[in-house]
Chain A
Amino acid sequence: MAQNTTNGFPEGDALQSQISGRHLRGTIWRIVFLSTLILAIIVLIILLVTIFVDGFGLVAVQNVVEPESLVLDYVETDMLTAPDTIASEDDNELVAGIAGDPDGTGFFGYAFYANNSDKLRLVSIENTIPDDTTTSDGSYPLTRPLELISSASVIAAKPQVGQFILYYLQHVNEEIENIGYFAIPDAEISEIELAVMEALGLDTSGSVPMIDPATVSGNITIAGSSTVFPLTERIAERFKADGYGGEINIESIGSSAGIRAFCVDGSIDIANASRKILPEERAACRSNDRDPIESQVGTDAIAVVVNPANTFADNLSLEELGILFTTAAVWSDVDGSWPDNPVHRYIPGADSGTLDFFASTAFDLRLQDLPKDALVAILGAGITENVGRRLEREQRFYNNAVVFNSAEEWVAVCSSDEPPAGCTSEERSQNNVYLLVQERIVQPKILQAWPLTESIFNRQTIIDEVGATYPDARVEFRSWLNRHFLNSPTSSQPELAGFRTAILGSIFVIIICILFALPVGVGAAIYLEEYASQDKWYNRIIQTNIYNLAGVPSIIYGMLGLAIFVRALEPITSGALFGFSDAATANGRTILSAGLTLGLLILPIIIINGQEAIRAVPNSLRQASYGLGATKWDTVRSHVLPGAIPGILTGSILAFSRAIGETAPLIVVGASTFVTVDPTGPFSKFTVMPILIYNWTSRPQKEYQYLAAAGIIILLVLLIIMNSLAIYLRNRTQGKRA
């Protein structure tokens, strides 16, 4: 380059290349600088996504007791114990009862109504009566499908199975009405036939060939639903009568057992089912190479009937149906325009599948909707007496009655020197009892959980895997952030653990923190800005000291809190001085100690922000005030503070949001990680949101990680709200001054 120069500076091409080189370098560095910023943005996005992804996802859950069955039991008991109710396993008895009782009503399989339609009157449900159309399109609510379940692999290995199913489909509509079920339209039957033929590897383009049983050989094993059983039996008889030479073995063992036998055990060729196959069952089938083909062969319906003398009950909604078969004493309880005749109920007995079916279809109840008494009864039936007594002593179930303890025992326990908390506590709420039922009876166990990304992209793999590993488990999408999570205390079972005590704890702690730090911080800021003369050595020390305090690691404040508030001031912070001698308080490790510790921690931030806000108030305001003869305090109170308040609030909100997120000092002060009782006041032991998040994060089980993510989401949402408020206040005041 130097050869082209005359005066030490490059010229011509060398100058060009030097300039372009400098430009290139400039561009490259510009990109480098920009990329650091982009990196920061990407990290922020990844961080938020990581948390979000962990907060939702598929879980494999297995209950010890299914909540549906508890609800069903409750509903059925309710129905069976309703007054004027006669239950019988013999449908003929029910028919006779209703036929002979002008106030009678009842329900049973449609078949029985069809055979006795002269003695009974059918009631429409939701303005629909059951017939072939309303049952197949689902507009009649009390229906269930009748299905045959098999698979292509079984049909390939045993052609006779496929041929029997085809024969079944071709002739079912000739027999089904005789059994008392509803036919599905021929067009749909044809579609199902085509699917079966495809599975059989037959040409589906032409017409469906009629099956000739005489050409079929080999045995067939069928098991499953008792409802489908008579229909299958009839078809099987016909199959044999038409010349089939093999053996058909049909067993009535119930739908679930049938599907299990088909999918998991592989011991049968066809499963009879009176419901759709569930996704987990399908997955279990797949993992055993028995990808299920469902062929619906008909529909069953329940008929709700009254005595022909009853002329008013033409139609019932599902809700009215529920009332009619449980609480209604007279017909006018169901519908006010109906007469006050008593209701006499004739219903199938407890062992009947029809009652189960009716109860599960007609009542839209969930476990958490059951009344408290019912939940207490469910709880009582499932736990030992000792556990019940203990739970009652922790917190009683009713203010005016005891459930698990005998009355004498209760009086004795409560008049002892150290009565348990249950003697004086508020009675357990319905929700509280529901949680106990969940924890003690339902006992849902999350066997495995997956983050959102895997749940979306590997959904099928996960379902198959669960079906193979845990046949009894069901896969469901779970938002770890849900109402239960917000409403329940933490628990040793991740599926039951909640955030409630931590949220309340954080609120209590932050209230103490505000009550302490805001007045003191603002007071100190006013002093330093309005009163303190910088000439005085002590004022300079205060100012320097505040800057230094702002840089002290937060955990040091925790140690200060531990030594001063928890230990030295224990009589005050534990509340003992004020007569709170509750054994449950944690020796000074209370909400009060935590709030004061955090207060000290954020005090420097509040003071520094407060000083800035006060400094921003124009001096002319003060001078004007003094000019009118106001005292210093009058000036501060009426002129300086009002002008500075938005700035002070902005800084303070930011400081409090820092306090809400602080973890380390509270670990040292002694936040409890396992608190299941809501805090009641400043002397309660406590946990706060970040402590619980920390605790969950450091547990080895993956489920707790998802809980932590859900907790973080709540914490971040809260912080975002607080920060938005601060930014809003800041912008508003900036707008005003401009």
Chain B
Amino acid sequence: MTPQNFGRAIRRTEDDRLVTGRGSFTDDAGSTGLSLTMIRSPYANARILSIDVSEALEVEGVQAVLTYSDLPGRLVEPLPLLIPHPSLVAPRTQYILANEHVRYVGQAIVAIFATDRYVGEDAAERVIIEYEPGEAVVGIDAALGPHLVHEDVPGNVAADHSEHVGDVDTALANASHVLELELNMERSMGSSLEGRASHATWDRHSRKLRIQNATQTPTSVRFAVANILEIPDEQVEVFAIDVGGGFGTKVIHPWPEDILTAWGAIEYDCPVKFTEDRVEHFISSSHERAQRHQIKVGFDEEGRILGLDVDFIHDNGAYTPYGMIAPLITATQLPGPYKLPNYRVRFRSVYTNTVQVTPYRGAARPHAVFSMERTIDRIAAFLEIDRAEVRRRNFIQPDEFPYDLGMIFQDGRPAIYDSGNYPELLEKVLSMIEWDDFPERRSQATPGRRRGIGVACYVEGTGLGPYEGGHVRVETGGKVQVSTGLASSGQGHHTVFAQIVADELGVPFEDVEVVTGDTRRFQYAVGTFASRAAVTSGNAVAEAARLVKEKAISIAADALEANPDDLEIVDAQVQVKGTTARGIPLAQVAVLANPLRYSFSEAARAATQFAGAGDLDEPPVKPGEDPGLEATGWYSPVRATFASGAHAVEVEVDAATSEVEILRYCVVHDCGRLINPMIVEGQIHGGVAQGIAGALYEKMAYDEDGNLQNASFMDFLMPYCTEIPEVEIDHLETLSPLNPLGIKGAGEAGVIPVSAAIAAAVEDAEGFQINHMPLFPSELHEMRAIGVDEPN
């Protein structure tokens, strides 16, 4: 097969619709029925003494005002712990509405069903809640202190996890040099353009609950809703038509509002909508990133790492709905592209009275890479060896794959790197940024500014299981319909899956129409996260297309009285190889695939010329065959495939303002075979932008009482496009041996090493250590005055 579409920078088919306001987001669905408004806790830790809703019920347009004690059936249970883990000894999840206790500012307490959100908020002002506030546990230091978030979780420790390879103590004892570092990363969050949203309709005639939901995982939302409402799965349909960004927050499910809208639609027999506003997204969705790392590294005179001992604290907020996925990723991805014969990691995941922490794009890898890369830079500085050279000396080499880290990855399977070429990645990015000539450029810095350069490498486990499926169906009109169960939140799935199917099946790209994230079209799926969609659904739709092709050739072989081996599909026509003379359009094969009693179209009439009488002793659809030119394909990877990359950045720090200006930002990225370079580059641009956000602009500013003081885009400094430099990109294509398409994931890559690279560049410019992120001009100004980065 010669790829016609695979590998080409085809423009995204979704964009025309999305940029002209014709997207179909959840808030666009219907404005009739009821709107759900939540009252959220103003206290980080408090007992609820009483709730008086009587005045709110008198507001015109209010249907119902519910508290925990009003909830029926299974709605009184805590929300599910989605991913248990043996190390998670004290998991806690929140209730749909707070049950006596609130544990973070923003936790839902009261649900108001009203004609619209305005009325809902008017009613909310009339609900009187009495609280008995307790001591708020905010930040890692407080978590290690005497006050508890959950009375029955001693030390606030949700999980205490250790893993090791080799013998770290002996390695450190025998190392020529040992250095210690303490590194800190602050909280941030994904900040999708669209917040969480759900619109539920109950069709009492067909007894169907139809839910449009802004989710990354519609199939699982469906099962969760059916389960909690105790109704058959078959009565629940969930679809995510357009989702305005997810970044991990929308993997978490079900949210309290998902259940309440669904329940309300049945209870009040009308559509119910919840659309999260920006303040709610800040205080009642998910955050990520906050960790503190203590590192001890032993190395030889050449800078080779002999032993690495990492002990970190992960602030998981008030609840752990997604288990320990984030810190487990930090632990296993910390080694990156380096050989660590002796590596020990321990983490404690601790509760605080803050918004829950769940994976956000990059999923706890930025911290891991920050630790590893800062450590390498520190070794280089200690030994006075070029930072790139220390990396070279520690890389896993291209001939060492598959490379077994000796650890267990987040999917519960061994962390074995499938393929990669880390030395070449580094050399490429060094040559892009002209690393060797930097000393000359440093001396040419703008007057009054200090110039620095930094580099950071990473490995990212992507494309993990358990599975995805794809369905491909050729319509008698010639269009090819493709569906897969995972949802799209901006990735470009409609384009890349069409590219894959068009090539596998032999049809024009324009004839392929893709639907994602609709349980009416595809019932089984896992979801869009962990940079897995292209690998899993991509290989699944490819398999489905191959099956359809096989079936089409078999049917056409009968009709043409030809040997199937002599047939091919070119430009949507099944034909004898090398000749277009004798062939049948795929649309007609689709008609033949479905033995018809009724002729209803030109295509059906045309197809009858091939139908013949057949063997009258055989049934029209033979045993083992199905009518229709369609097939379902599945792909279940044995384990994750590991993408990799290297970023290099050159900065200038302004002497007067301490502002960091990025002069050049270079990325070399290896996600195996590229399906669509334009889309991969778009993913990298967005990822780098979020990385720069986390490095220089964003943090969650909690006060000591647990109030998030910057819960708006005025005070939470998500950068604008004006703050993001041009990103220069080059690719390496080291194929994955684990899947037929040879691909690896690309969705999160861009964000992962940015903090590490920028810290390195600023450190290089200033000459003092950078041990935390983000780095604000105000802090940099003070660090310049004292010449160090004080651990905070």
**A, B bound:** no
